[in-house]
Structure 1
Amino acid sequence: MEATELRLNNLLMYEDSIVPIIGMENINEEILVKIDSETAIDSRKLKPIALTAEWFSKLGFKEAYRSQSRIRFDLPNYCRYDFDLNSNKILEGFLFFGNYIKCSYLHQLQNIYFTLTGEELKIEYEHPKLQTILS
């Protein structure tokens, strides 16, 4: 994962916690990512969050279709995401006007959604100190 893939409000893993990006700065060719009001860390210490059925539930998606080869999740009135259960993964990703946009991680889906709608993807998740809804 490159720091250039990241934007404000992306959720990533740091150690064993889910953290939001609340700021970024470039210091001597090193990208520091602010994850709370007191903590800035090297972006290379962050790990992406894989998209799973559990995450789609937290994003407000509903399972709309299931077969031996595919599972489809719909976000009502907005978009679809297909998981291709075959090894070639040809029909997998964010479905936009009949085309699949490949994304395997939460921050990628957040970025695609924001680019297409101009709005943040609403996400319910447990922060170590409080429950948060990003929007």
Structure 2
Amino acid sequence: MEATELRLNNLLIYGNEIVPVMGMENSNNNLIVKIDSDTAIDHRNLKPIALTAEWLKKLGFKEAYRSSSRIRFELSNYCRYDFDLDSNKILQGFLYFGNYIKCNYLHQLQNIYFTLTGEELKIEYELQHAQTTHS
């Protein structure tokens, strides 16, 4: 995960916990990320959260389609995310006007959604031990 991928409100894993990016500062060419009012850490100590069906449901996506090769999730505003069950994963990612935007991690989906809509994704989660299994 590159430092340039991060922005405020991204959710990431630190240790075994899910933490939000609350602030960022460049210090000696290292990005220091504030994760709570008392803690700031090097961005390289953070890990991305893999997108899973469980995470999409926490984001308000609903399963709309399932076949032997694909599972599609949709939001009410026509946003879609497809999981390609084939090994090549060509048809996987955020679907925007017929084009797939590759994103495998929660922070990437948060960034794409914000860029396209100007709004934050609403996420229902509890700060607790992270689950990083793939769907």
Band the TM-score falls in, shorter-chain normalisation? over 0.9
Larger fraction in strand: 1
Q: Does 1:104 align with 2:104?
A: yes
SS in 2 for 1:55: helix
Structure 1 gaps, min length 5? 129-135
Query: What residue is the counterpart of 1:50 in the other structure?
Result: 50
Q: Which residue identity does 2:2 align to in structure 1? A: E
> Deviations 1:18-57 (Å, cap 9, x if unpaired)?
0000000011111100000110000000000000010011
Higher relative contact order (CA 8 A, sep 6+): 2
Other-structure match for 1:132: none
- The aligned counterpart of 1:36 is 36
In the other structure, the counterpart of 2:116 is 116
Deviations 1:79-117 (A, max 9, x none): 000000001111110000000000000000000000000
The one-letter code sitting in structure 1 at the alignment partner of 2:125 is Y
Partner SS, residue 40 of structure 1? strand
Give the AA of the match of 1:22: M
Matches within 5 A, 1:6-85: 6-85=6-85
Please list every run of 5 or more consecutive structure 2 residues that lacks an aligned counterpart in the other structure: 129-135
Residue 124 of structure 2 aligns to a residue whose secondary structure is: strand
1:78 CA drift (Å): 3.2
Paired letter, 2:67:
S
Whichever residue aligns with residue 2 of structure 1, its letter is E
The DSSP-based 3-state class of the residue aligned with 2:87 is coil
**Which position in structure 2 is the counterpart of 1:131?**
none
Structure 1's consecutive aligned runs of 4 or more residues displaced over 3 angstroms after TM superposition are: none
Which residue identity is paired with 1:23? G
Counterpart in the other structure of 2:132: none
